[in-house]
Amino acid sequence: MSLKAPNFNDIKDAHERIKAFIHKTPVFSSTSLNEILNVDLFFKCENFQKVGAFKFRGATNAVRLLSADEAKKGVTTHSSGNHAAALSLAAEQLGVPAYIVMPENAPEIKKKAVEGYGAKITYCEPTTKAREETSSLVQKETGATFIHPYNNFNVVCGQGTAAMEFLNEVNDLDVIIAPVGGGGLMSGTVISSKAIKPNIKVYGAEPLNADDACRSLKKGLIFPALPPNTIADGLLTSLGSLTFQILHEKLDGIFTVKEETIKKAMRMIWERMKIIVEPSAAVPLAAIIENKDLFKGQKVGLILSGGNVDLDNLPF
């Protein structure tokens, strides 16, 4: 059975819908990185997006598509990461209540961000089971609409607007690489990119220590993320039914990268480009570093997915 997947028109509609509320993030390049890596790199800086991550695009699109009745009842999700903050701010901007289920052990800084955007937090034990059960309870009590962080048509459409802006600004890219966690950004990216430039190559990048997406696409069925051991804390989730279907059909491949290379890539971006990216955002550059010859002399676009790091707990 095939799920209804977004097409590029859906993404263009999403962009019209959200463009007044999001940042049109800049595209950066770095002469020194290009010289070191012998490739022509372009970086779409979603670390500068509101709440510090691309997630705000999808959340805004989903919230703006609620009916009046749904909007009154609010939205809910379970997340300890960027999606929670993104959904909370997107909801707050429209006066929609947001109910976020977070594990008790979520970092203090993330709890504060979500609270700061006016969301109501319900804490649960830090297990998938507890998160899902608590989330179900919250939905029943409030009637709020559940907005999945990635396995959601409207969320995928929103995330696809980043690559759309990217290719509209740099229209002769040979390759685009984005990080893969649950596959929301990757799905939106591959739909936009192949529609705008059919012969472009679109790749994912994920940590070798959390390579479930790579294995899933190879085998043709969704592997759950094993208890992952990676600093790329935004890429711990497994693909969903919708994102798996899109990526299985369209993606040109996934690069898996070592932890050491992720740290090296992150540090290169900080030192050379003077911008702050979170470990997950450095994974595509890590793929370039580990596969230099493959991209030699090409124009390659990388999506820097976010910039939310705990400065008290850096990997270097």
Q: Which residues are catalytic?
A: 55, 80
274, 293, 297, 313: which one contacts its own copies (CB under 8 A)? 274
Between CA 254 and CA 211 the distance in angstroms is 9
Does position 104 bind its own copies by CB under 8 A? Answer: no
Stretch near its own copies under the rule CB under 8 A, chosen from 8-16, 54-62, 177-185, 275-283:
275-283
How near is the Cβ of 200 to its own copies at its closest, in Å?
27
Rounded least distance, CB 276 to its own copies, Å = 4
Give dist(CA 233, CA 271) in Å, integer: 21
Q: Which is nearer to its own copies, 31 or 171 (CB)?
A: 31
Judged by CB under 8 A, which of 9, 26, 72, 143 binds its own copies? 26
Using rule CB under 8 A, residue 140 touches its own copies: no
Instruction: Indicate the DSSP class of residue 50.
Output: G
Nearest distance from C-beta of residue 134 to its own copies, angstroms: 29
Q: Which of 168, 271, 292, 296 binds its own copies (CB under 8 A)?
A: 271
108 part of the interface to its own copies, by CB under 8 A: no
Contacts with its own copies by CB under 8 A: the residue count is 19
Residue 21 in the binding site for its own copies (CB under 8 A):
no
In the bound state with its own copies, the residue whose beta carbon lies nearer, of 157 and 276, is 276
CA distances from 301 to 1, 59, 183, 298 (A): 33, 24, 18, 10
230 and 262 in contact (C-beta within 8 Å)?
yes
Q: What is the number of other CB atoms lying within 10 angstroms of the CB of residue 296? A: 10
Other CB atoms within a 10 A radius of the CB of residue 297 amount to 9
Residues 6+ away with beta carbon under 8 Å from 91: 59, 63, 74, 75, 97, 98, 117, 118, 119
Q: Quote the tokens at residue 25.
A: 């993030």
CB neighbour class for 299 (10 Å; exposed up to 12, middle 13-18, buried from 19): middle
Joined tokens for residue 118: 């006016």
1 touching its own copies, by CB under 8 A: no
State which of residues 94, 208, 275, 294 lies at the interface with its own copies (CB under 8 A). 275
User: By CB under 8 A, is residue 115 in contact with its own copies?
Assistant: no
Q: What is the spatial distance between Cα 60 and Cα 63, in angstroms, rounded to a whole number?
A: 5
Q: How far apart are CB 270 and its own copies at their closest, in Å?
A: 6
Note whether 267 binds its own copies by CB under 8 A: yes
Q: Rule CB under 8 A: is residue 234 a binding residue for its own copies? A: no
Number of neighbours of residue 265 by Cβ within 10 angstroms: 26
List the interface residues with its own copies, window 280-299 (CB under 8 A): none
Return the residues of window 31-70 that contact its own copies according to CB under 8 A.
Answer: 31, 47-48, 50, 52
Question: Computed from CA positions of residues 120, 76, 226, 280, in that sequence, does the dihedral angle turn out positive or negative?
Answer: negative
> Minimum Å distance from CB 255 to its own copies?
25
Tell me how far, at minimum, the Cβ of 279 lies from its own copies, in Å.
14
**241-250 and 212-219 helices cross at what angle (nearest 10)?**
70
- Which residues here bind its own copies, judged by CB under 8 A? 26, 31, 47-48, 50, 52, 267, 270-271, 273-277, 307, 311-312, 314, 316
